[in-house]
A and B are shown apart, each in its own frame.
Chain A
Amino acid sequence: MGHDVAAQVRGYMFVFGALLVLTLVTVGVSYLRLPETPAVIIGLSIALTKAALVAMYFMHLKGEKPAVYWPLGLTAFLFVGLLVSVLLAEGDHLFGTQFGDAFTR
C-alpha cells in the first residue's frame, strides 16, 4: 500500500509538471498572434489536454466505474450538442452554409 501511494504521488508530480508546461505553451502560442482559426484550435486542444490530465489523475477518473462514465458520457454528448446547435444558428456566416430560398416559400 505504502509503495503504491509513493508511486501515485510521483504520478501527481508528473501531471503537475505537464500542466505547468502546457500553461506556458498556451500563453506562449497566444503571443504569436496566429489567425483566429488555428489559434482557437491550438488553444482549445491544449485546454482539453490539461482538463483530461486533471480529470484522469487528480479526479481519479482513470479506472473509474461505469456508473460514473455513463452519466458523464451523456453530459459530454449534451454539452457538445448545446455548443453545436448554438454555432449552427450562426452557420450562415461561420461556415458559409446557405439554404437559398428553400425555406422562404
Chain B
Amino acid sequence: MEIPYTTEVRPDTGLTNPKLGIWLFLASEVMLFGSLFSSYALLRSGAPTWPVQHEVLSVPLAALNTVVLIASSVTMVMAWASLAPHTAAVRAGDREAEAHSLKRYRLFMGLTLLGGAIFLVVKSIEYSEKFSHHLYPATNNFLGLYFTLTGLHALHVIVGMIVNGFLWGPGARMWRSQPERFANRIEVAGIYWHFVDVVWIFLFPVLYLL
C-alpha cells in the first residue's frame, strides 16, 4: 500500500502529511524542552544562591558552537534548495540535472553533517573539562540542569545526524525514483534540524550568558 499524501497536498489540511506530521512532532518537542526550561526557571528563581554561570562554563566554546549550528542550518536549507527547483526536470528524465543537483545536495548535506559532528566534538570537550574539575550533574542544581538540557539537546543532534546521514547516503537513491518525495523529505528533515538549532539559540543565553 502506498503512503497517502507524501507529495500531493491533502485537501482538508492544505498540507502534505509529512509536513503536518513534523510540525505536530515538534509541538510535542516544544513541551518536552519547555518542561525542562520551566524547571530551570523554578529552581533558579527559588534558589538563595546560584553559581555565576559564565565562570563555571566556557562562553567562547558555546559561542563557537552557536555559530557552527547556525551555519549547519544554512547548509541544510541550501541542501534543500539544491534539489527543490529540479524535481520536474528529474522526473522528466533529465539525467544531467539529476546528477548535478544531487552533487550539490550531497555537498551541502555533507557540510551539515560536518557541522553536527563539530558541535558534538566541542560539546564533549566542554563535558570532559567539567568532569576533570569534578563538576558532575549531582554537584549542584545548576549543573544538573546544564547536563540534562544540553544532554537532551545533544541527543537530538545525534538523531538528526543519523537521519541526515541516511538521506546523504542510501536514502538519496529516491532522488531518481521519486524526486518530489525526496525533496519533501529533505525539507522535513531540515525543519527538524532547524528546531534543534532553535533550542540551542535559547540554551546558549539561558545557561551561559544570563
Query: A residues touching B (Cβ–Cβ < 8 Å)?
Result: 1-2, 4-5, 8-9, 12-13, 15-16, 19-20, 23, 26-27, 30, 36, 39-40, 43-44, 46-47, 50-51, 54-55, 57-60, 65-68, 71-72, 74-76, 78-79, 82-83, 86-87, 89-90, 93-94
Are B210 and A43 neighbours in the complex by a CB distance under 8 Å?
yes
Return the CB mask of B8-19 against A: 1 if under 8 Å, else 0: 000001110001
Which residues on B sit within 8 Å (CB–CB) of A54? 73, 194, 197-198, 201
Which residues on A sit within 8 Å (CB–CB) of B150? none
Are A9 and B81 neighbours in the complex by a CB distance under 8 Å?
yes
Are B59 and A27 neighbours in the complex by a CB distance under 8 Å?
yes
Which residues on A sit within 8 Å (CB–CB) of B81? 5, 8-9, 12
- With contacts A12-B77, A40-B210 taken as known, whether A86 is within 8 angstroms of B38 at the C-beta atoms is yes
Query: B residues touching A (Cβ–Cβ < 8 Å)?
Result: 13-15, 19-20, 23-24, 27, 30-31, 34-35, 37-39, 41-42, 45-46, 54, 59, 63, 66-67, 70-71, 73-74, 76-78, 81, 84-85, 187, 190-191, 194-195, 197-198, 201-202, 204-206, 208-210
Q: How far is the CA of A20 from the CA of B69 in the complex (A)?
A: 11
Closest beta carbon of chain B to A82's beta carbon, Å: 5
Which residues on A sit within 8 Å (CB–CB) of B39? 86
B contact face: mostly helix, strand, loop, or mixed? helix
- With contacts A47-B202, A75-B30, A89-B42 taken as known, whether A12 is within 8 angstroms of B78 at the C-beta atoms is yes
Are A16 and B70 neighbours in the complex by a CB distance under 8 Å?
yes
Are A82 and B197 neighbours in the complex by a CB distance under 8 Å?
no
Closest beta carbon of chain A to B17's beta carbon, Å: 11
- With contacts A55-B194, A79-B31, A82-B34 taken as known, whether A66 is within 8 angstroms of B14 at the C-beta atoms is yes
20 contacts between A and B (CB under 8 A): A2-B85, A5-B84, A9-B78, A30-B205, A30-B209, A39-B209, A44-B202, A47-B206, A54-B197, A58-B73, A58-B76, A58-B77, A58-B190, A67-B15, A68-B19, A75-B31, A78-B31, A79-B31, A83-B34, A86-B39
| B15, B41, B201, B210: the one within 8 Å of A51 (CB) | B201
| A5, A8, A65: the one within 8 Å of B13 (CB) | A65
Q: How far is the CA of A44 from the CA of B202 in the complex (A)?
A: 7
- With contacts A78-B31, A82-B34, A90-B45 taken as known, whether A58 is within 8 angstroms of B67 at the C-beta atoms is no
Listed from nearest, the 4 A-B pairs whose CB atoms lie closest are A30-B209, A43-B205, A65-B14, A75-B27
Closest beta carbon of chain B to A28's beta carbon, Å: 10
Q: Which residue of A lies closest to B27 (CB)?
A: A75
| B27, B63, B74, B76: the one within 8 Å of A27 (CB) | B63
Q: Which residue of A lies closest to B74 (CB)?
A: A16
Closest beta carbon of chain B to A26's beta carbon, Å: 6
